Chains A and B, each alone.
Chain A
Amino acid sequence: MQEGMKNGCAGAPAVLLERISTLLAEGTVARVLGWKAGDMAYNPEPAYFETQEALKDFVYDGFCGANLSKYMIEASKLEGKTLVCLKPCDTYSFNQLLKEHRVDREKAYIIGVGCGGKLDVEQIRRKGIKGIQSIDGAQLVWEESDPGTELKGIGDDVLTIRTIYGEKTLPYGEALLERCHVCKGKEHRVYDELIGQSRDTKDADRFAQVERIEAMSPEEKFAFFQQELSKCIRCNACRNVCPACSCRKCVFDSNKFDSSQKANADSFEEKMFHIIRAFHVAGRCTDCGECSRVCPQGIPLHLFNRKFIKDINELYGTYQAGENAEDKMPLTSFDFGDAEPGIVGERG
């Protein structure tokens, strides 16, 4: 049963809520890291819940797209276990953080939640739907907790959006985040238990966008990125949300490279920032897509990360960060026969 609507936001599937409630009650976990309703129907906020009483505000619906793995860095420092709901793609990030000793597996109780793709309000807006008041159809219907069953295809569900201009409808599949169209798969890489069903959302090639850019002339490439990067306001949202950008202090905030700047003092800065940020996470980025999701300017930041991933796959063998917590990362290993940097020019 769905709880009542909170700020137009759907509640959470009963099977999930019951299980979380039990785990909290029996003391298996000290707190729950989940979501509560935000001020709008489409922006639930990550939140901690420490009592069963508090769980009445717990929300888990199609808009809960945030990757909570990064929160586990801080949660690992707390007393007792923290329950966290991770989608399949989030578990890659958790594994990567585990590999980098940033999270404590013992401090986490991971519920691998089923995923049928997460919603992106920007996609809805792009369809010309404005003035949203509430959205129906974003709630998750998990009949029973059998993670093995797959839900029907995404084409079947429809979002009904009540706006100040009247009611609109949109197929669920058309409102998905970019990353869901290039989904890495619905298998959880690390978890304590699984709840809920998944359905496949992949309907595009992960590297198609990168390839399109690669095929451009240098002038076109330059124009494309100049266009995109000129939007950057250095709000640091991409950095703050990125599970790989988990440095205690970012190089752009320290004086170690004479690179700390509060405002963009010179024209070079955003470029340097984005290239270096992508480089720092190269080989560690799981391609979770959070950077692009949170960018208020809509810069497709994942295109940087995915370029590195594509290069790594092509030059050093296929590698998926976070697939497990053991494999050596591509930038901390090498092969005697690696390609020379000159290959960049040769590939054209």
Chain B
Amino acid sequence: MPMKDEFKPKIVAFCCNWCSYAGADLAGSSRLTYPADVKIIRVPCSCRVNPMFILRAFEKGADGVILCGCHPGDCHYSTGNYYARRRMTLLFSMLDYLGVENGRTRVEWVSAAEGVKFSQTMNEFVEKIHSLGKNVRLEDLRCRKE
């Protein structure tokens, strides 16, 4: 079934190696589908994700960025996701403040056992990005007005 619109969003998913990447693997081995628009980048921990990476993705034309990590309390490195949680909360709040649709960014905690959750999350997220359409604002925010 072709999508209603021709819009093929670019979506970057940062997944921590220990929980969410494994959760994505489980989604795969359970054959739980989600759109091919999602591309996963493996990082050791959610706390490795620098806000610059997220902005970089938008700069290069991503339409949505999602960060997945171990559930709070389950971090392989004990505390990494707690730092990630604060950083992302503040970053997302700033993007919202700048008038960028906050649906373009998301954090989800996905354990290695949550293949179903991973696939559901990705389906939801892609649907959300479809509803938001192409990312224009982040690309345009600075644009010199003619």
* Chains A and B share a contact (CB less than 8 Å): yes
Within 8 A of A (CB), among B95-130: 95-103, 105-107
What's the interface size class on A, roughly? 35 or more
B86 in complex: contacting residue of A223, A275, A316, CB < 8 Å: A316
Q: Any chain A CB within 8 A of the CB of B4?
A: no
Contact yes or no, A336 B139, CB < 8 A? no
Contact yes or no, B51 A338, CB < 8 A? no
Q: Any chain A CB within 8 A of the CB of B72?
A: yes
Contact yes or no, B142 A344, CB < 8 A? no
Report the minimum CB–CB distance from B69 to chain A (whole Å): 11
CA–CA, A56 to B73, complex, Å? Answer: 63
Within 8 A of B (CB), among A300-348: 304, 307-308, 311-312, 315-316, 330-332, 334-336, 338-345
CA–CA, A214 to B93, complex, Å? Answer: 10
Within 8 A of B (CB), among A213-259: 213-214, 216, 218-227, 229-230, 232, 251, 257, 259
CA–CA, A308 to B87, complex, Å? Answer: 11
CA–CA, A275 to B144, complex, Å? Answer: 17
Report the minimum CB–CB distance from B57 to chain A (whole Å): 11
Contact yes or no, B86 A331, CB < 8 A? yes
Q: How many A-B residue pairs have CB under 8 A?
A: 136
User: Chain B residues with Cβ under 8 A from A271's Cβ?
Assistant: 55, 98, 138, 141-142
Interface residues of B (CB under 8 A from A): 50-52, 55-56, 58-59, 72-73, 79, 82-83, 85-103, 105-107, 137-145
New contact pairs (15) apart from A275-B55, A336-B72, CB-CB < 8 Å: A214-B97, A219-B99, A221-B98, A221-B99, A226-B140, A229-B141, A257-B56, A268-B139, A268-B141, A272-B52, A276-B51, A276-B55, A311-B93, A331-B87, A344-B102
